[in-house]
Structure 1
């Protein structure tokens, strides 16, 4: 989870810096926000690939632990439908 938080904070900081610089240049506040999103996304895609990968792996591990705690997912409707179809096939 630490990697996810670090990656998110870096992206937010990157957006804030770019937004601030664009507003200083004279671009409108809303347009600067939109442009900052696009520019920050491109920069993070190009330069933060390793951090993004570590964050994705961290999220995957959290999801796997959650699934282990919950146990297997049983779809009761599907089990009942399968039983009805099996009964129909026997007739």
Structure 2
């Protein structure tokens, strides 16, 4: 009887943990570095490709657009003419 209850409790606990866990596709975890033109050391951020494609990100210090670091091949950002 106790073994049966333990098994049923384990099944219920596993279902509860699965429903409480955040849903992940694995795609959102990929980030890449972007840099600005600040001298002598550029400021650096990590963003997802989706966030980068939404439009330009401007540095608050040098007012330049952030760009991918080390010539990373990525889809182009949206521009005003793309709309």
**TM-score normalised by structure 2 residue count:** 0.30
Higher helix share: 1
**TM-score normalised by structure 1 residue count:** 0.27
The structure that has the greater radius of gyration is: 1
Higher strand share: 2
**RCO (CA 8 Å, sep 6+): is it higher in 1 or 2?**
1
